[in-house]
Structure 1
Amino acid sequence: MSYLFPNYQRKELELIKGSKNVLTDQTGNNYLDFTSGIGVMNLGYNDPELNQVLLEQSTLLWHTPNLYENQLQEQVAEKLANEKEYISYFCNSGAEANEAAIKLARKATGKSKIITFTNSFHGRTYGAMSATGQNSIHQGFAPLVPDFIYLPFNELEPLKAEINQQTAAVMLELIQGEGGVVPADEEWIQAVQSLCHEFGALLIIDEIQTGIGRTGTFYAYEGYQIEPDIFTLAKGLGNGIPVGAMLGKKTLAKAFGPGSHGSTFGGNKLAMCVASRVVERINQTEFLLEVQKKGQLLAAGLTQIAEKNKVIKAIRGKGLMLGIEFSDTNTLNQVMDLLEAEGLLTLKAGQNVLRLLPPLTIEVEEIKQALAIISKVLSNRTLQGNAE
């Protein structure tokens, strides 16, 4: 008997330790990790520097309530602003960050209508779930939070027809992660921003999965030549320590005065000391250029493999956030099981996409190792038969 709710579909292995980009299970098997704990462990496992800053802070204070000044929060907020006019609110997860973004948008504009997009994913709390454009996520939880409108992703005409002076915000991911690793078109994103400006709506960018260097720029929006009104972070921000952040333009400060929103554990000192060092390490030109180069190497290798395998329909993504679209769900599930047996951990996205999110510290030789494993698995005769 398990004393846990069965809300997770768990694999029959337990990961008990990790070092750099490799994980070890309860039987001693090692795995090259191309999941990063679903985009979390951007600096890999058992990092000595992060271990040390966490240890040092743990001997001082773990927690103080947000009734008092917190210089660690100030330091992290300044680093996240990245020399722009953004201010931060800290919480514990991506869903919480998106809840804060939704509340801020409605409070600041005095309007309630928020446009999001089909196959998006913004979290599983009520507001974030209501913003998510997937019926499977909504099933059984009606009534949802009202006034969310779902439109086709990367299509401009439906947005032009729907956005108006009653729109509080447009909320989107620059790469739909859970929805199948689908990047936004640059021209479309710039048009979305222009429409938001025209109708007085706020542009909210969900950077929960794409932020903190994942796409090769510190924030994914920097690669689209836009500047959102609000954006949200979590996952890679704490390298495994639970932490989320909602950033908004300084002009929105008056909408979130005392009593408007809060979190008991948000911005706690343990999370802040780690986040501060993570941001310092990743937001470096040389580090981000390496992410771009390694992403290009991985994408080029996958493209070569795809040319020889009919079960692959497309390769897409950016930086070290890449997806392999397969012909069907059954093939994807087979591939993931075979990869795991060969010592490579991967993720599912959408119905038939293999998602690759290695730590940003992944080595070139480890990328080559992963590509060799993928190539070997896809040469399996049963898989090739699926393409016939």
Structure 2
Amino acid sequence: MNVTRDLFNEVMVPNYNPAAIIPVKGLGSRLWDQAGTEYIDFAGGIAVNVLGHCHPELVSALTEQGQKLWHLSNVLTNEPALRLAKKLTDATFGEKVYFANSGAEANEAALKLARRFALDHFGAQKDQIISFKQGFHGRTFFTVTVGGQTAYSDGFGPKPGAIEHADYNDLASFEALISDKTCAVMMEPLQGEGGIISPTIDFVKGVRALCDKHNALLIFDEVQSGVGRTGELYAYMGLGVVPDILTTAKALGGGFPIGAMLTTTEIAKHLKIGTHGSTYGGNPLGCAIAEKVLDIVNTPEVLNGVKHKEQLFRKGLEAINDQYHCFEEIRGKGLLLGAALNKNFTGRAKEFLVAAAEEHLMCLIAGANVVRFAPSLIIPDEDIQEGLVRFERAVAKVVGADVSFK
């Protein structure tokens, strides 16, 4: 079969518009397409490939478990799921774990749990959920409505009710919405899709205090910010605020689909037998791989390495900006960074992404005004430097500078 980009248009639902190239092989922070062209990967599968492509220890975990047991359903438990749950609870505030297959599923579970907790403790009137404008929490109808981007939730009929949105980093906006009717507040401790926006410490601590005042559960969506991405195992650890429920996915499987919701024993007991479930959630194959990811990432070497590599990125991007004056600021934390375009390049982030691909560099965007970088946490320093050289060529193209490169 001749597999080309044209085949996508023939056989796939048109909700995506992938690039023309089709990668066929990856190793570390490099990718190769059908023609054998090599690319440096600053996209990381949208913050998923936390240890790069085909990390040998993940390949070993996959093949070893793949010869033992793939799937059981939750009629039975399994050793990899129990080991992974123990490691997650040992490493975080969480005492209980629910496994799913994606970030949206983990968030769906968190929201259902919060509603059930409030119903059991306070009654049906306590049902309001507050989240934040420009937030992103998944594409199920519940999670996309909780997300703060109406373009993703409009046009599908009546939306789930009792959901309100405040302005991120604006405590007064949030305080105006929260009341004793609020059952849960869902927020990203670093907004990803919304533009790589870090919270101020005062804001996140104020949200926590108001949740406590009104007996509302605080849910941290760490689908993108978790598993070492910010230089902490989870972003909450660097903010001095502990949520009641945390969701994690993306990087947790290093490329294999898995998600998880973590919470306390007291809160968890409200998801009684039969109240929620997942056929594939907690399957042995996914959990065995995620266990290995956690073993590798949750080490001082990797987490400190993230902070070092962040500085390499920041210095490199700032040097590019010194020459081309196209960025307003470099945002984010760890290896979830955004180059926010200034007013002269408003709405043109995709042009930078396309130009980067032409220079054999994969990156991302976060909205129309931010170029996003979410590479492997163990990307070699030399790959960062070479990737930034390629990105500079892309910037030169977009800016239209007449510069010759070696």
Which bin holds the TM-score, normalised by the shorter protein? over 0.9
Q: CA deviation at 1:348?
A: 1.1
Taking structure 2 as the reference length, what is the TM-score of the superposition?
0.92
The separation in 2 between residues aligned to 1:352 and 1:161, in whole angstroms, is: 29
The separation in 2 between residues aligned to 1:316 and 1:19, in whole angstroms, is: 28
Structure 2 residue 289 is the aligned partner of structure 1 residue 274? yes
Structure 2 residue 311 is the aligned partner of structure 1 residue 292? no
Higher mean displacement: 98-107 or 59-68: 59-68
Match of 1:99 among 105, 108, 123: 108
Distance 1:381 1:124, change over 3 A: closer
Q: What is aligned with 1:14? A: 22
Q: What is aligned with 1:196? A: 211
AA aligned opposite 1:160: E
Q: What is aligned with 2:63? A: 55
AA aligned opposite 2:73: P
Q: CA offsets per residue over residues 50-103 of structure 1, 9 Å max, x none? A: 111111111111100101132221211111121534210001000000000000
The separation in 2 between residues aligned to 1:157 and 1:212, in whole angstroms, is: 31
Distance 1:329 1:146, change over 3 A: same
Structure 2 residue 380 is the aligned partner of structure 1 residue 363? yes
Q: What is aligned with 1:317? A: 332
Q: What is aligned with 1:146? A: 161
User: Quick check: 1:234–1:243 contact (8 Å CA) kept in 2?
Assistant: yes
Higher mean displacement: 363-372 or 120-129: 363-372
Give unpaired runs (5+ residues) of structure 2: 1-8, 120-125
Q: CA deviation at 1:166?
A: 0.8
Q: CA offsets per residue over residues 300-338 of structure 1, 9 Å max, x none? A: 221222233222122101000000112445532222122
Q: What is aligned with 2:280? A: 265
Tell me the SS of whatever aligns to 2:256.
coil
Q: What is aligned with 1:26? A: 34
Tell me the SS of whatever aligns to 1:9.
coil
Higher mean displacement: 321-330 or 84-93: 321-330
The separation in 1 between residues aligned to 2:77 and 2:40, in whole angstroms, is: 42
Distance 1:3 1:295, change over 3 A: same
Structure 2 residue 230 is the aligned partner of structure 1 residue 221? no
Structure 2 residue 198 is the aligned partner of structure 1 residue 183? yes
Distance 1:117 1:270, change over 3 A: same
AA aligned opposite 1:380: K
Matched positions, count: 385
Q: CA offsets per residue over residues 167-195 of structure 1, 9 Å max, x none? A: 00111011111111111111110111011
The separation in 1 between residues aligned to 2:127 and 2:383, in whole angstroms, is: 47
Compute the RMSD of aligned alpha carbons.
1.5
Match of 2:97 among 67, 88, 103: 88
Tell me the SS of whatever aligns to 2:312.
helix
Higher mean displacement: 255-264 or 61-70: 61-70
AA aligned opposite 2:167: P
User: Quick check: 2:30–2:38 contact (8 Å CA) kept in 1?
Assistant: yes
User: Quick check: 2:113–2:268 contact (8 Å CA) kept in 1?
Assistant: no
User: Quick check: 1:63–1:270 contact (8 Å CA) kept in 2?
Assistant: yes
Tell me the SS of whatever aligns to 1:38.
helix
Higher mean displacement: 260-269 or 79-88: 79-88
Tell me the SS of whatever aligns to 1:96.
helix
